[in-house]
């Protein structure tokens, strides 16, 4: 939630345009705005920028999307500057108004601050500050932190005190303030007395440094500066970073110098563009064959033996695991639910899937024989991070399935298995979901290989089938038009029910979630077997029901049971839409519409059956004229509890 950017550079010599064509002296502003454009998926309730220059702080902010800020900047340009900060907000404390937008400018207009996170002791601090004569223009916890920073800065100034790191008094003040704050925060500030310096503090909230040539960057994630550099530096918890054009100084909250881990971002700005599609969402749905293929890539040796070198947990320890708990939220949790069927089937290890935010509050039983598998696209979801920390404290081993290099959850886990889906920008998750299923399957197969639950030949066969999946996803995508036509004709639908069984059940819930998020339609996913235990009462004439049908070649006559469920709802007036395997003619007579997916094994089917449901939600939302990349009230990365 909330996107943050920071920049420190030098103005190009007079007469030289900057490399990006920005007017002389406006590179800082250009970098900040471009960074906010990239980070807008993290929150779009308001946007703002502040630059520090010889004349003081220049600040513009506006409620609404970034476009509103750009209009404001056009109408009221900012003065040239070499450093600045920017923010795109997902509202927590205080509504999405201009006053609550960031940056907050305090200390008589000399200090500008942006914040991501929640400061839990803000009301006590606010009361203390008010008692010392401060007043507040907004309802935010952020302005409280900014005011405190301004007060501490002034006290240091009065005492004539400086700091050792680059002589920045702002860094000293930031450290003192960070020690007083409770909760989660990334704070980034710039002060008129130190133009060219940007200082940030981080606790339990994301922040990455970008290293440039004569300029340096800050971003909530690397997309905040991907247009300018792919050299990034990870920061640890409880650190303060001081940015100037040619230096990046990191300390802890007490001034002890620290080193960040530098790494190269493995995707570029082009990968974060729409690539000719009308939306990121549509592009990312179409990226899925690649997302799965990339996630499979390089994970076996020449003999087809899985070699997950990144796992870094002693194989002897993995052999002693007697329980797996998958922790995740939202779509990632549905990926976990799919994975559970495969992991239990292949490894014979009892596996539970739990929503991260429920986990640590119920006093769960976890020990050193428990393997925690967290799944998070962003690697920053606060609920999942806290659950992983808790489990680690109890002695569990933790593996992170994650799509974002350098993010917090993998860094705080014993091991990581990256999904290589590439940047996912649309707020609703699509390609990350398929990549997560793929990665958890690799993990399951690896454990089965290690523990001898499957023969090597069986593992090879499953891997061979997985390798064919990208082409099959592509063939589902090739029939997108058929799904689109139906969805468009259903634009006035008020509620849609989804049914699935076995791995089709989490797929049904994921289909319903996509429809809720994108088209703002009431949608629910049910286990088909649960129908007669209550939900069938919802069926009335014309009620659309989308059913994910298992393969007729699958085991346990699940196919027949789900076909019976279709008949049951249809007999009560439902309009049935069926996702079935190619060649399954038995469903035709019970369905108004059938979408076929290529043949595959039961466990791999979610990699295909999900795709028409994503396309359905995309087309229906588009038909209703909604912004599919930035649905209302949502933010991509939920970094507050
Ligand atoms: C839904 C969606 C969310 C995320 C959830 C977890 O489309 O995107 O439900 O899946 O917020 O996010 P990550 O995977 O980043 O932990």
Give domain status of residue 133, yes or no: yes
Distance from the CA of 330 to the center of ligand 1, in angstroms? 5
List, for residues 40-54, the tens digit of each pLDDT value. 988 889 999 999 877
313 and 249 share a domain?
no
The answer to whether 224 and 3 are in contact (CB under 8 A) is yes
Ligand 1: residue of 206, 326, 332 to mutate (most ligand atoms within 8 A of CB) is: 332
Distance from the CA of 567 to the center of ligand 1, in angstroms? 34
638: confidence class by pLDDT, cuts 50, 70, 90: confident
Mean pLDDT, the chain, rounded, equals 93
Distance from the CA of 576 to the center of ligand 1, in angstroms? 29
List, for residues 589-628, the tens digit of each pLDDT value. 999 999 999 999 999 999 999 999 999 999 999 999 999 9
248 and 358 share a domain?
no
427 and 486 share a domain?
no
Ligand 1 neighbours, Cβ below 6 Å, are: 329-332, 376-378, 381, 384, 428-429, 513, 517, 637-638
For the cut 70, the answer to whether the pLDDT of residue 223 exceeds it is yes
300 and 237 share a domain?
no
Residue 480: its pLDDT value, please? 94
Closest ligand 1 atom number to CA of residue 427: 8
489 and 547 share a domain?
yes
Look up the domain containing 618 and give its range.
479-629
Select from 210, 233, 265 the last residue of a domain: 265
Give domain status of residue 495, yes or no: yes
Ligand 1: residue of 41, 220, 331, 507 to mutate (most ligand atoms within 8 A of CB) is: 331
Other Cβ atoms within 10 Å of 470 Cβ, number = 20
Strands laid side by side in the 544-548 sheet: 522-527, 495-500, 544-548, 575-581, 593-597
279 and 257 share a domain?
no
Give domain status of residue 635, yes or no: no
Ligand 1: residue of 381, 432, 435 to mutate (most ligand atoms within 8 A of CB) is: 381
Q: In sequence order, which residues have a C-beta less than 8 Å from that of residue 157 and are 6 or more positions away? A: 169, 193
Active site residues: 2, 636
315 and 419 share a domain?
yes
Please report, for the domain that includes residue 335, its CATH number.
3.40.50.10490
Residue 266: its pLDDT value, please? 85
The answer to whether 150 and 111 are in contact (CB under 8 A) is yes
For the cut 70, the answer to whether the pLDDT of residue 221 exceeds it is yes
List, for residues 291-345, the tens digit of each pLDDT value. 999 999 989 887 889 988 888 899 999 999 999 999 999 999 999 999 999 999 9
223 and 284 share a domain?
no
Select from 471, 498, 531 the last residue of a domain: 471
Give domain status of residue 639, yes or no: no
Q: Which two tokens stand for residue 11?
A: 């103005």
User: How many structural domains are present in the chain?
Assistant: 3
Distance from the CA of 558 to the center of ligand 1, in angstroms? 30
Task: Give, as one character, the DSSP assignment of residue 283.
Answer: H
149 and 240 share a domain?
yes
227 and 132 share a domain?
yes
555: confidence class by pLDDT, cuts 50, 70, 90: confident
Q: Which two tokens stand for residue 156?
A: 């240091």
165: confidence class by pLDDT, cuts 50, 70, 90: low
What is the SS3 string spanning 141-204? Answer: HHHHHHHHHHHHHHHHHHCCCCCCCCCCHHHHHHHHHHHHCCEEEEEEEEECCCCCCEEEEEEC
142 and 21 share a domain?
yes
Which residue has the least CA distance to atom 16 on ligand 1? 376
228 and 353 share a domain?
no
Q: Taking the C-alpha atoms of 146, 150, 155 and 161 in order, what is their torsion angle to the nearest 10 degrees?
A: 100
Distance from the CA of 9 to the center of ligand 1, in angstroms? 35
């Amino acid at each position: 939630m909330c996107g943050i950017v920071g920049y420190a550079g030098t103005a190009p010599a007079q007469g030289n345009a900057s490399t990006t064509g920005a007017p002389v002296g406006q590179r800082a502003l250009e970098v900040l705005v471009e960074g906010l454009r990239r980070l807008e998926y993290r929150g779009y309730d308001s946007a703002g920028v502040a630059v520090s220059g010889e004349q003081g702080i220049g600040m513009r902010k506006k409620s609404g999307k970034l476009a509103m800020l750009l209009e404001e900047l056009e109408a009221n340009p900012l003065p040239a500057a070499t450093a600045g900060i920017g923010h795109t907000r997902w509202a927590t404390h205080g509504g999405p108004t201009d006053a609550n937008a960031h940056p907050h400018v305090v200390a008589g207009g000399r200090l500008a601050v942006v914040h991501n996170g929640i400061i839990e002791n803000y009301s006590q601090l606010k009361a203390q500050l008010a008692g010392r004569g401060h007043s507040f223009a907004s309802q935010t916890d952020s302005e409280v932190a900014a005011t405190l920073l301004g007060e501490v800065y002034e006290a240091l100034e009065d005492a004539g005190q400086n700091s050792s790191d680059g002589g920045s008094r702002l860094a000293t003040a930031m450290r003192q303030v960070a020690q007083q704050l409770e909760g989660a925060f990334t704070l980034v500030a710039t002060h008129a007395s130190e133009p060219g310096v940007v200082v940030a503090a981080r606790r339990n909230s994301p922040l990455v440094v970008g290293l440039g040539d004569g300029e340096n960057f800050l971003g909530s994630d690397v997309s905040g500066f991907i247009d300018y550099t792919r050299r990034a530096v990870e920061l640890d918890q409880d650190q303060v970073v001081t940015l100037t054009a040619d230096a990046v100084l990191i300390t802890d909250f007490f001034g002890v110098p620290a080193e960040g881990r530098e790494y190269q971002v493995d995707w570029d700005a082009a990968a974060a563009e729409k690539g000719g599609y009308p939306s990121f969402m549509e592009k990312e749905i179409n990226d899925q064959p690649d997302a799965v293929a990339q996630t499979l890539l390089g994970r076996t040796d020449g003999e087809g033996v899985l070699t997950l070198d990144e796992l870094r947990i002693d194989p002897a320890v993995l052999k002693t695991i007697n329980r797996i708990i998958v922790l995740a939220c939202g779509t990632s949790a549905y990926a976990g639910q799919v994975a559970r069927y495969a992991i239990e089937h292949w490894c014979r290890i009892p596996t539970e899937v739990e929503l991260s935010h429920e986990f640590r509050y119920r006093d769960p039983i976890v020990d050193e024989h428990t393997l925690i598998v967290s799944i998070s696209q962003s690697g920053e979801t606060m609920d999942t991070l806290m659950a992983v920390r808790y489990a680690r404290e109890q002695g569990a081993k933790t593996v992170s399935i994650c799509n974002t290099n350098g993010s917090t959850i993998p860094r705080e886990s014993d091991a990581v298995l990256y999904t290589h889906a590439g940047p996912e920008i649309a707020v609703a998750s699509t390609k990350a979901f398929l990549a997560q299923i793929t990665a958890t399957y690799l993990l399951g197969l690896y454990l089965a290989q290690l523990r001898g639950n499957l023969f090597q030949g069986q593992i090879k066969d499953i891997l061979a089938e997985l390798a064919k999946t990208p082409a099959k996803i592509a063939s589902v995508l090739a029939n997108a038009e058929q799904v689109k036509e139906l969805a468009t004709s259903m634009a006035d639908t008020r509620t849609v029910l989804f049914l699935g069984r076995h791995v089709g059940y989490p797929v049904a819930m994921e289909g319903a979630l996509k429809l809720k998020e994108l088209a703002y339609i009431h949608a629910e996913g049910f286990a088909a077997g649960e129908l007669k235990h209550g939900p069938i009462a919802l069926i009335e004439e014309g009620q659309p029901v989308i059913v994910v049908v298992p393969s007729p070649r699958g085991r346990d006559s699940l196919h027949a049971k789900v076909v019976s469920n279709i008949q049951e709802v249809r007999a009560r007036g439902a309009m049935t839409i069926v996702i079935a395997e190619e060649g399954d003619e038995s469903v035709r007579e019970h369905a108004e519409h059938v979408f076929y997916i290529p043949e595959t094994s039961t466990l791999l089917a979610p990699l295909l059956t999900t795709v028409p449901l994503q396309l359905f939600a995309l087309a229906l939302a588009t038909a209703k004229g909604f912004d599919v990349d930035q649905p209302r009230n949502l933010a991509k990365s939920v970094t507050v509890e």
